[in-house]
Amino acid sequence: MNIGMIGSGNMGSAIGKLWARQGHQVMFSYSRDLKKLDAIAESAGSNARTGTTAEAARFGEVIMLTVQYAVLEDALKAVGSLEGKVLITCVSGLRPDFQGQTLGLPTELTSSVAEQIAQLAPGAKVVEAFNLTFAELLQADSRQFGTERPSLPYCGDDADAKAITAGLIEECGYDAIDAGGLIKARSIEALASIWVQTAVVTGLFPNTGLKILRR
Ligand SMILES: NC(=O)c1ccc[n+]([C@@H]2O[C@H](COP(=O)([O-])OP(=O)(O)OC[C@H]3O[C@@H](n4cnc5c(N)ncnc54)[C@H](OP(=O)(O)O)[C@@H]3O)[C@@H](O)[C@H]2O)c1
C-alpha cells in the first residue's frame, strides 16, 4: 500500500518506519528541516522516500496526519484535495504542557479534532487512530507488554477505510479495537487527556499501554 505521511515528528516518523518495515511504500513529508526528513526516510529503509506535502498526499492511498493542532489548517491547505483517500489522524487538542483541559473542542463533546479534519478535507474517509498511545512506545523495539499487546481504539464512518486502518494498526503491534463512528472521536480525544495525565501522574509514562480485556 502507498502511504503518505503528513507530519514526520515523534509520531509520524515512528509509525511510518513501522509501516515501511512491513513492506508498505511510505513517503515522509511536512518538516521545516529537509535534512531531518531525509534522515528519517533513510533510517526507514528502501521502502521510504521524502516529498513535499502535496506529493505525499498524491502518493498515498492512505494518508497519516500527525501534526500539531496549531498547524492543522496550514497543513491541510498545503495538502490539497484528499477526496477518496483514507485519512488517518492522531491529531489531538491537548495543550502542549498536558495541563488543564484540552483546547476546548473535545471536552465539550460537541465536536472533535477528527470531525474538524473531516470538514477541512471534504471527501476524505477520516479515521481517528493512534491517539491512545505514545510515540515512545511506537519508537521502541516492540509494542509488547510481556505476552500482551496494547489495545488501540479507532473510529470512523467508512467501513473500508476502517478495515484498512485496523490492518495498519495491527501491523504496528497493537490490538485494533473498533470504537464506532467518527463521532466517537469526541470520546477518544477526551480519553486521551486522562490517559496522558494518568501516565504522567503515576510515573508510568511512556511505558504503559491501554488494554481492553476479553473473556
Ligand atoms: N507524541 C505522542 O506521544 C502523541 C500521541 C498521540 C497523539 N499525538 C498527537 O499527534 C500529533 C503529532 O504529535 P508529535 O509528537 O509527532 O508532534 P511533533 O513531533 O511536533 O511533529 C509535528 C510534525 O509537524 C511538522 N511541522 C511542520 N511545520 C510545523 C510548524 N510550523 N510547527 C510545528 N510543527 C511543524 C514537524 O516538523 P519539524 O519539527 O521537523 O519541522 C513534525 O514533522 C499531535 O497532534 C499530538 O497531539 C501525539
Spatial separation of the C-alpha atoms in residues 175 and 177, rounded to whole Å: 6
Edge-to-edge strands of the sheet including 2-6? 48-50, 25-29, 2-6, 62-65, 86-89, 125-128, 151-156, 175-178
pLDDT in tens, 37-92: 999 999 999 999 999 999 999 999 999 999 999 999 999 999 999 999 999 999 98
- Tell me: the pLDDT tens digits for 136-167? 999 999 999 999 999 999 999 999 999 999 99
Using pLDDT thresholds of 50, 70 and 90, give the confidence band for residue 210: very high
Number of structural domains the chain divides into: 1
What is the residue whose three cell numbers read 478535507?
121
Assess if residue 214 is contained within a domain: no
User: CATH number for the domain including 80?
Assistant: 3.40.50.720
Q: Answer yes or no: is the C-beta of 36 below 6 A from any ligand 1 atom.
A: yes
- pTM (global) more than 0.75: yes
Q: Where in the sequence is the domain holding 62, given as residue range(s)?
A: 2-201
Q: Indicate the top mutation candidate among 11, 18, 69, 198 to test ligand 1's pocket, ranked by most ligand atoms within 8 A of CB.
A: 11
> Residue 91 falls within a domain, yes or no?
yes
- Judge whether residue 101 has pLDDT over 60: no
| Assigned domain for 171 exists | yes
Q: Is residue 210 part of a domain?
A: no
